[in-house]
Amino acid sequence: MNIIEFLTSNATTFLALAATGIFAGILAGLLGVGGGIVIVPVLFFLFKGFGVSPESAMLIATATSLATIVPTSISSIRAHKQKGNIDFDLLQRWGLFILAGTLAGSWLVTRVDGSWLTLLFGFIATLSALNMLFRTGKSALFQQLPGRTGQTTMGTSIGFFSSMVGIGGGTISVPLLTLFNYPAHKAVGTAAAIGLIISLPAALTMLTLGTTPVDAPAGTYGLINLMGLVCIVPLTVLFAPLGASIASKLDANKLKKVFAVVLLITGMRMLAQSMF
């Protein structure tokens, strides 16, 4: 099959994946949320619509999401570094533990049933939505970060759970750090660097060690759908500034509440998908 025939036979897939990139980019700029928390459920339901089983759809959505986070996190790191919002001391303390958790989590993804990942994502998405709805602007629960053992546990857990559900770490690390009275702007900037520590090794692990499901959509290697990667990344980067521009004209807090409700419904739907 030549390139023209390939593009023609998969035109619907390309259009759907392009729409995913546009949607994820606008939401990322509009609401300041990480791409993975948007891309994973969209890809999950998209692949299901193409006739892929829920188990395979979740595996491929998770791995593809992590691959898309690599270039976007690099761009984000540059922007946050210029503003001095990355805590390199924290990264030095946590880096190896985040990496260890990431390698363990991404390896486990290549070995487990996708329905377990759907359950885990639904749980994390639901908690994230509830945090957005009820904890925004609330005071910290603790005055400082815990000791070495506590921070080791935090770093390892962020890498482990983020890699297992296809997110870059910000969804977990930002609310977790702010619970310990950590400055919000530094939490967001440092989360961008954490995203690269998680996404690059996790994506490589799932690409090289993952077994491509028999019902995977075209263009899937290992567990990563390269068609999705090529379609989503440039459009996410292109449309994120548009989302940011829209956000400057609208009430950001109200928008986040609306997104939190949508995310809550999505999380609960994925929980139901995995249990029934």
Query: pLDDT for 1-57, tens place per residue?
Result: 555 665 566 677 788 888 888 887 777 766 656 678 888 988 998 899 888 999 999
Mean pLDDT on 138-162:
89
Radius of gyration, alpha carbons of the chain? 18
Residue 266 CA, distance from chain mean position? 14
Q: Are 224 and 60 in contact (CB under 8 A)?
A: yes
- 3-state SS assignment for residue 225: strand
Amino acid at 162: S
Q: Are 116 and 273 in contact (CB under 8 A)?
A: no
Q: What CA–CA distance (Å, rounded) separates 154 from 101?
A: 10
Cα distances from 168 to residues 7, 130, 217, in angstroms, run 30, 19, 24
Structure tokens at 105: 């989590």
**pLDDT > 80? residue 139:** no
Query: What is the pLDDT confidence band of residue 200, given thresholds at 50, 70 and 90?
Result: very high
Q: What CA–CA distance (Å, rounded) separates 63 from 199?
A: 9
Looking at residue 89, its pLDDT comes to: 94
Pairing of strands 224-225, 220-221: antiparallel
- Angle, alpha carbons 228-230-232 (nearest 5°): 60
- 3-state SS assignment for residue 261: helix
| DSSP character string of 133-158 | HHSTTPPPSSSS---HHHHHHHHHHH
Cα atoms found within 13 Å of the Cα of residue 100, Cβ hemisphere only: 11
DSSP class of 113: -
Statement: the pTM of the whole predicted model exceeds 0.85: yes
- 3-state SS assignment for residue 251: coil
Partnered with residue 220 across adjacent β-strands are 225
Looking at residue 208, its pLDDT comes to: 95
Q: What CA–CA distance (Å, rounded) separates 59 from 228?
A: 14
Q: Mean pLDDT lowest for which of 31-40, 54-63, 220-229?
A: 31-40
Amino acid at 194: I
Tell me what the pLDDT averaged over the chain comes to.
Answer: 85
Looking at residue 34, its pLDDT comes to: 63
Q: What CA–CA distance (Å, rounded) separates 106 from 159?
A: 9
Percent of the chain with pLDDT over 70: 89
Q: What CA–CA distance (Å, rounded) separates 125 from 260?
A: 9
